[in-house]
Structure 1
Amino acid sequence: MAVFEVPVLSIKNLNKQYGPGCSQCKGGESAYLVKNYCQVCGTVYACRDVSFDVFPGEVLGIVGESGSGKSTLMQCLYFDQEVSAGEAYLADYENGMKNLFQESSQQQRYIRNHVMGKVYQNPILGLKMNFSSIGNIAENLIAAGSRDVGMMEGKGTALLNKVNIPVHRRKEAPKNFSGGMQQRVQIAKALSNNPPLLLLDEVTTGLDLSVQASVLDLIKNLQRELNISIVLVSHDLGVIRMLADRTLVMLEGKVIEQGLTDQILEDPQHPYTQQLVHSLL
C-alpha cells in the first residue's frame, strides 16, 4: 500500500462511555476498573481512545469478544450513538477537513445517505420489514434526493439482481424472506447511493453456514467489483480471514493489536490475540 495514500476514513481517539465517570475511574484508566467497568460509579468505558485509518479499496476487520466495544464503535461511526469524545474524517465529505462527530444531526443524516452505507447484524434495524424490497432501496434513494421513479425502479431492480434476489420477488416484503435474503436486501440498500465506505456489523451471525458462505462470497465479489472500502466487525476469525486486508483486535474497549490480517493470524503478539487465534485452530 502506498504511503502517500489518503485514508477514506480517519478515526482519532474515539471514546464512548456510559455513565458520568468519577474521580476513582479517571476517564477509564484506573485500578478501580474491572475490565472496562468502574465499580465505584458504575460507568462503562465502551470505547477507549480508538484510532485507525481505512484506505481506498481496503477491508478493515475489527475482531473481539462480546463486550469488547466493536459494535459500539460501529454505532458511533454511523451516528446511531453519540461519541463521548474523538474525531472522524471522511475524504469524500468536505475534503476530509471536518470532524463528523461535531456536525449537526442534519449533516450527519446527509453523510449517512450519501457517503456511508451500513448493514446491521439484525435486518430489522436496517430494513422496513413491511415495505417491498425495492421500496426499501427507493427509500434510501429518496433520502439522498432522487425523485425519478423510473430511475429508482431500474436501479433497485439492478441492485437486487446483483445481490441475487430474483426479479419476480422485488415487490415482496423482506419479512417474507429468509435471514440470508434479508441480509442481501440490506446490502443492496446500503450500496444504493454508491457510498465509498460500507460498515458491516456481524452480518453473518445467526445464519446457517452455507448461507454465511454465500453472503461472504457476495460481499467479497461486490467489494472487488466496486472497489469500495469496508469496515467489517466480527467475532468470527474465519470471516475476518476471508475478507479483511488488515485487522484490529479489540478488548475491553481498547485496540490491543493491529496489523495485516495474515500477520495477526499467523504471528499474534498479544496474549489475548494468541488465545483467540488458538481457539480457531
Structure 2
Amino acid sequence: MGEFSAPILRVNKLNKQFGAGCSHCSGKHRQLDKNYCPVCATVYSCQDISFDLYPGEVLGIVGESGSGKSTLMRCLYFDQEVTEGEAYLTPYKDGSSNLFQESSQQKRFIRNHLMGKVYQNPVMGLRMDFSSIGNIAEKMIAAGSRNVAAMELRGSELLERVHIPVYRMKEAPKNFSGGMQQRVQIAKAMSNNPPILLLDEVTTGLDLSVQANVLDLIKHLQRELNISILLVSHDLGVIRMLADRTMVMLDGQVVEQGLTDQILEDPQHAYTQQLVHSML
C-alpha cells in the first residue's frame, strides 16, 4: 500500500436509520439509548460513518453484534438504501459521483464489476441448487459475459484457486460443508476481478481449523491480486491476522480507528480496551 496513493473508496457521513425519528431523537440534542430512541423506537444503525479504503489495503471493522457493521456493509453493496451520506469509488467515474445517488441500473453495474461480497450466511450469497460453477457464471453473466467456454474456464480456474476439487465443480453448494460454501462464495465474489471485496463475518460458525484455512486463502488472494478488502468481524484474532488498519464500531458509531497494531497494543477507547483485554 503506497502511503501517498489516493483512496480507492471514500465514505463520508453515511447514516442509516430504521424508523422516521422524532423530536426526541433528531437534532443536536438527540437522546438515544445506545442507538435506539426509547420514544419512537427508531434505530440509528449507522451514524456519520466516514472512512477511506486504500488500494491493496485490508480495513478491518470490529464491534459487537448490533454495532452497525453489517448494516454498513449492506449499504455499501446496495442491499439496503442509506438514509444519507456519500461514497466515492475511484474506478467509477473517476471518483466524482456519489454512488448512493446513482440509478439502480448503475448500482447494479457497480455491484457486478467493481465489488464482490461474501456474506456471513452462504445462503445469502449463493444459489444453493445451482452448480458451483453455475454460481460463478451467474455473476459473470450479470456483468455482461456471454461466452460459455470462457465462463467455464474462469469458473474452474477460480474454484481450483479456492481449493474446490475439479470433480465437485458441477455439484451444488447445498452438498458442501460450511467452509467449502464460503470458498465458493469467495470464488463467485472474485469472478469479475473487482478491485474491492466486502467480507462480512466470513468465518463465523466455522470450525477453527476451517477458519484458519479460509483466512489463509483470503490473505493469499489479497496479496497476489492486490485487492482492497473491507473485513467485518467481531473476532479480533481475525482482524489481527488480516487487517492493516482497523475501525472500531459501537452503537452505530466509529469510536476509534487506526493501524491495527496500534489499536491492539494501545487501545484508546474504553470499549476497545475491553475488547482487547477479552482477547488476551
User: What TM-score do you get using the length of structure 2 for normalisation?
Assistant: 0.99
Hey, what's the Cα distance between the residues in 2 that align with 1:29 and 1:158?
55
Is it true that 1:265 corresponds to 2:268 in the alignment?
no
CA distance in 2, matches of 1:165, 1:52: 35
CA 193–24 in structure 1, closer or farther in 2 if over 3 Å, else same: same
2:55 aligned partner: 56
Distance 1:168 1:175, change over 3 A: same
2:63 alignment partner AA: G
Within 5 Å, give how 1:16-55 maps onto structure 2.
16-27=16-27, 30=30, 32-55=31-54
Paired position in structure 1 for 2:199: 200
What is the deviation of 1:5?
1.1
Q: Deviations over 1:235-272 (max 9, x none)?
A: 00000000000000000000000000000000000000
Corresponding position of 1:185? 184
Deviation at 1:29, TM superposition (A): 5.2
Aligned partners of 1:62 and 1:248 also within 8 Å: yes
Q: Deviations over 1:35-61 (max 9, x none)?
A: 010111111000000000000000000
Which deviations, in whole Å up to 9, do the C-alpha atoms of 1:4-61 show, x marking residues without a partner?
311111000000000001111125852x311010111111000000000000000000
State how far apart, in whole Å, the 2-side matches of 1:20 and 1:233 are.
27
| 2:84 is aligned with 1:96 | no
**Contact persistence 1:28–1:48 (CA under 8 A):** no
Q: Which amino acid is 1:203 matched to?
A: V
The superposition leaves residues 85-143 of structure 1 with CA deviations (integer Å, 9 ceiling, x where unpaired) of 00000011111111000001111001000000000000000000000000000001111
Which whole-Å CA distance do the structure 2 matches of 1:43 and 1:28 have between them? 16
2:67 corresponding residue in structure 1: 68
Paired residue for 1:215? 214
Match of 1:276 in 2: 275
Unaligned runs of 5+ in 2: none
Any residues of structure 2 matched to 1:103-252 within 5 Å, and which?
A: 103-252=102-251
- In the aligned structure 1, how far is the partner of 2:195 from the partner of 2:89? 9
Structure 2 Cα separation of the partners of residues 42 and 29 of structure 1? 17
| Identical counterparts, % of pairs | 76
In structure 1, stretches of 5+ residues that fail to align are none
Tell me by how many angstroms 1:168 deviates.
0.6
Kindly provide the amino acid, as one letter, of the partner of residue 8 in structure 1: I
What TM-score do you get using the length of structure 1 for normalisation? 0.98
Whether contact under 8 Å (1:21, 1:27) holds in the other structure is: no
Q: Secondary structure at the match of 2:116?
A: strand
**Secondary structure, aligned partner of 1:67:** coil
Alpha-carbon distance in 1 for matches of 2:11, 2:161: 31
CA-CA distance at 1:155 after TM superposition? 0.4
- Please provide the CA RMSD for this pair: 0.9
1:4 corresponds to which residue? 4
d(CA) in 2 for partners of 1:221, 1:68: 29
Give the whole-Å Cα distance in 1 for the aligned partners of 2:129 and 2:247: 37
Cα distance between partner residues in 2 of 1:27 and 1:157: 54
CA–CA separation in structure 2 for the residues paired with 1:28 and 1:227: 42
Contact 1:58 1:229 (C-alpha < 8 Å) held by counterparts: yes
After superposing on structure 2, the runs of 4+ consecutive aligned residues of structure 1 that deviate more than 3 Å are 1-4
* Counterpart-to-counterpart distance in 2, 1:244 and 1:234: 10
Match of 1:13 in 2: 13
